[in-house]
Structure 1
């Protein structure tokens, strides 16, 4: 579990996703304390923050794609 949380923390930190990183820190702390309830709460919050971030990044990519198309550049569309 710790390896995956560390990887997720590093990845989220590298893109500036502080909320995801902070939840990972709390999750790791709960895991190290064998706090099952804390782990479950952190996992639920992590899922929420991940979905929120994913949606925001999707919006950002759509805006960038529209901007690029308006400027005459073409990027491959992904659905």
Structure 2
């Protein structure tokens, strides 16, 4: 299973998904998720994923959608 963008391009292949799993993320066919303690931890983890897993030269090179879910 691969995660694809709206144009059908691969965003995360099998290796990238395994790498996220090793970092404690839950990855399914539609999304990757992980509960983090605060926004600073979320920002740090996001930058780490962009640079180490997706090999983005600089996070500012991307347009991202972040959805924050509130706790019940």
TM-score (norm 1): 0.30
Q: Which has the higher strand share?
A: 2
Bigger CA radius of gyration: 1
TM-score (norm 2): 0.32
